[in-house]
Structure 1
Amino acid sequence: MAQRTCRASIIVILTLLQGFLSCDAVEIQPSMNPAVVGSTVTLSLSPSVTLASGNWAVEETFILTWLGEQQAVFPGYSGRASVSVTSGALTLSALTVSDSGLYQVQSGDPLLKASVYLNVVEPISNVTLRVSRSDMIEHQATGLINCSVSTGSSLSFRWMNGSSEVTATDRVQFTDGNSSLNIVSVSRFDSGPFRCEVFNPISNGTSDSVNFTVSYGPDNMRLTVNGLNTTAFPAGSNLSMLCLAESNPPAQLQWGFRGNLVNATGTMLELFHVRAEQSGPYSCLAFNNRTNLYSNVTTHITISRSQQLQSNVFLLPLLLLTGFFSGNCDYFSL
């Protein structure tokens, strides 16, 4: 009698072990994963098995249970959840983002337990940017851009400045899950155009571009004469002095000569038929009325005497020596 009991117990244990081992080999295969909001998904068992009873749950919430041909759907899933009473496949319709989670099926006939994570994702629409402040002075302000969507879930963000991807640095920071771009101490190179690209497993979207207006300068001033590197010219030349300054908004330019302002403004100062006495330092002064900053550049121009005058000065001693300079001449014109 004891021997028969032992044999029966072994059979029961082997049957239970066979059930547990078989459940390890069973997987849940969603008809789509990730699934789209509003769609219908079916969670099937693979390999296919015949289940006489069981239940489905997501996380700690029961969805439904069945026994033979009878099934009961729990509140919250009525009208959109059903099960195949033979295969145990769960069909769930009108999906929402909140339906994402770990789905589990359990059965006692045969003994089975399996799970899968289902991700329900909402498509992205209407990616927009909002700039907290668009008009700033270089190195005196922080720029902040927020990226948002009208619809979408499981979002990933990428920021672009023109054709280059924006990466984090000491000055560039990403916050709120990378949906916000924060630029500390903006520079003239941070003006943009910026755009935000948003992704999720089923869709993507891109915002329109925005720009910062960054006021800077004047600085990096340059002064050229007749477009040449030289600053020495013969008398009688016409000179065109060009003054350039990096500035936003464009700087107001004023010209000076030997430390005194002259009646000339703008990027160009023109002198015609210059004389030797016009040699000296010429300055271009720049002012930005937005940054309230000044800058200047100076170049020293040398005007040589005319060749005719130089020849006369050189020939004068020779003329005196040769007697060409006669006493009958009342004057000698250079």
Structure 2
Amino acid sequence: MLNVFIRIKGSLSDQVESRMMAALTYLTLFLLTGLCICQNVLERGPAIGAVGGSVWLKTNVSNPHEPYMVLLWSRNLVNVITYVEGELNTTYSHVSLNNITGSLELRDLTLGDAGVYYLDMVPTGSPAEHGKITLQVFEIISNASIIPTPAVTIAHQSSLHLTCEAQGNISSIEWTKDGRHLSLGGRISLQQNNRALVISPVKRADDGLYECLLSNPVSNMTAAYTLAVSYGPLNVTLNGPTEISDSVDATFLCSAESYPPAEFSWTFNGASIDVTGAVYKLINSKVGDSGNYTCTANNSNTGSKVSVTRMLIVYEIISNASIIPTPAIEIAHQSSLHLTCEAQGNISSIEWTKDGRHLSLGGRISLQQNSRVLVIDPVEIADDGLYECHLSNPVSNMTAAYTLVVSYGPLNVAISGPTEISVSDNATFFCSAESYPAAEFSWTFNGAKKDVTDAVYKLINSTVGDSGNYTCTASNPNTRRKFSVTRMLIVNGGLSCFKSGILPGVTLSITMMIVLVF
């Protein structure tokens, strides 16, 4: 304690010096005789202060019985301030002393103010009192930040270091993710006294808000960093139509899982398209727009590219459908029929029906040229009916129809009418035939051509001379066939030689002549 006063002495006036010497003598007497109170009169430390702030080093004395004759404060055995019988002396400009309680205030603290402070107190007529306290001065934490290394992290590839930086005295650092305490272990660890957070390797699940909480006894601060792990592109898909009709618009949409969002480029049949977005629109499509549309997703961070392709077929709508028969006329049991289904547009499929029912193939009936041609060889009468070809593609359909009527005959030609009449009677002959198209008729009487072309031949007011052979000939212009039938008529009356209406020597008969003309 003598050293304290010696160091103070050189800076005091003679008057102060004499007072201090008196005080020193008084204090020494107490020390040597044991007349002192040896308990610490200062509050329990350490005392905490912030740079630029103030702090009180307080005593336990709140209401002393007697005023203090001497108050001596020193730091690390260097004088700070003295109070001797009412005189206050100090070389510090930022200290204040409460001479009632002995408490010391330090203002505008610097880191140099930290240390161990001693207090010696000599009350009037009482034993000396002593105290000791440690002052800790901390710089307030500022400019906290988290520095990522590397700046770009790639899932399953990068090893990430997050370094918590700040100015000021750092007593502790704690890390959180998304507001929760960070679980360490495995891929996640702390280094450099918790200053650096290491994740190796990073994964997509590591995305989130990372915070480091820095603190010291006088301040705290939090720095934050949002980690977004780069990945992809993954699951690249290309949606859009695969089949459309011409003149229709088409839209293709490319998507990918990626961070940062993928950049897109497009090609058509390998040729680059001046489109860079996720959407490609085809306006007023044409058949020539059919082909492969390719979307490429690119991630500039990961350096990865993934391409997907979608094929589009542009169909021309089916129109002008018809069935062309070859030959135009079909003759039963002679002709070989080809029905050709014609149309404009893209044809994907052709189906044939007859009279609304699926056409049974086999034997005489077959399909050729990818079902475009129906062949019936030979045609028969039973092949008559409504034939339809149903054309379709993914965007349209159309039906063409053709009614087939097979030419045949004449068959079963017959003539009906009387075989015997009386003079002046009328007679009517009916000629019939099975034929398509309908048979054409002509008549002869006893070989002489008659001016009658109908199926009906009428004889009016007959005479004996009308007796004879009446012949009907049925002909078909398509088949070029002719069939003739004859009926004999006897007209009775006027001659005695007739008996029972039959001329002598004349035999009643019906003769049918068949003439086939090719």
The one of the two structures with greater contact order (alpha-carbon pairs below 8 A, sep at least 6) is 1
1:90 aligned residue: 104
- 2:208–2:227 contact (8 Å) kept in structure 1: yes
Shift of 1:219: 0.8
Given the alignment, which residue of 178, 184, 202 partners 2:200?
184
Given the alignment, which residue of 231, 242, 265 partners 1:216?
231
State the Cα deviation string for residues 148-204 of structure 1 (Å, max 9, x = none): 445x3355556677x646735344444444444444334456677767665444445
1:44 aligned residue: 58
- What is the CA–CA distance in structure 2 between the aligned matches of 1:262 and 1:292, rounded to whole Å? 22
- What is the CA–CA distance in structure 2 between the aligned matches of 1:36 and 1:102, rounded to whole Å? 16
Given the alignment, which residue of 128, 136, 144 partners 2:161?
144
Higher-Rg structure is: 2
Shift of 1:79: 2.4
Do residues 167 (structure 1) and 174 (structure 2) align? Answer: no
- 1:158–1:165 contact (8 Å) kept in structure 2: no
Given the alignment, which residue of 353, 368, 385 partners 1:315?
353
- What is the CA–CA distance in structure 1 between the aligned matches of 2:351 and 2:109, rounded to whole Å? 103
- What is the CA–CA distance in structure 2 between the aligned matches of 1:307 and 1:110, rounded to whole Å? 122
- What is the CA–CA distance in structure 2 between the aligned matches of 1:154 and 1:110, rounded to whole Å? 43
- What is the CA–CA distance in structure 2 between the aligned matches of 1:314 and 1:166, rounded to whole Å? 76
Identity %: 25
CA change 1:149–1:241 in 2 (3 A) is same
Amino acid at match of 2:353: L
- 2:354–2:386 contact (8 Å) kept in structure 1: no
State the Cα deviation string for residues 51-82 of structure 1 (Å, max 9, x = none): 56676565xx2244979649999xxx842567
Q: List alignment gaps of at least 5 residues for structure 2.
A: 1-32, 320-346, 360-382, 388-402, 407-518
CA change 1:301–1:158 in 2 (3 A) is farther
Shift of 1:245: 1.1
CA change 1:118–1:311 in 2 (3 A) is same
1:250 aligned residue: 262
Given the alignment, which residue of 48, 67, 92 partners 1:79?
92
TM-score normalised by L of structure 1 = 0.56
- What is the CA–CA distance in structure 1 between the aligned matches of 2:236 and 2:201, rounded to whole Å? 23
Do residues 153 (structure 1) and 166 (structure 2) align? Answer: no
Specify the SS of the correspondent of 1:218. Answer: strand
- 1:29–1:44 contact (8 Å) kept in structure 2: no
CA change 1:317–1:103 in 2 (3 A) is farther
Specify the SS of the correspondent of 1:45. Answer: coil
- 1:158–1:197 contact (8 Å) kept in structure 2: yes
- 2:141–2:170 contact (8 Å) kept in structure 1: no
Shift of 1:97: 2.6
- 2:264–2:295 contact (8 Å) kept in structure 1: no
- What is the CA–CA distance in structure 2 between the aligned matches of 1:293 and 1:70, rounded to whole Å? 83
1:324 aligned residue: 386
- What is the CA–CA distance in structure 2 between the aligned matches of 1:314 and 1:53, rounded to whole Å? 128
CA change 1:220–1:56 in 2 (3 A) is farther
Q: Any residues of structure 2 matched to 1:92-107 within 5 Å, and which?
A: 92-101=106-115, 103-105=117-119
Give aligned pairs, total: 291
1:28 aligned residue: 43
Specify the SS of the correspondent of 2:236. Answer: strand
Do residues 134 (structure 1) and 169 (structure 2) align? Answer: no
Shift of 1:244: 0.8
TM-score normalised by L of structure 2 = 0.40
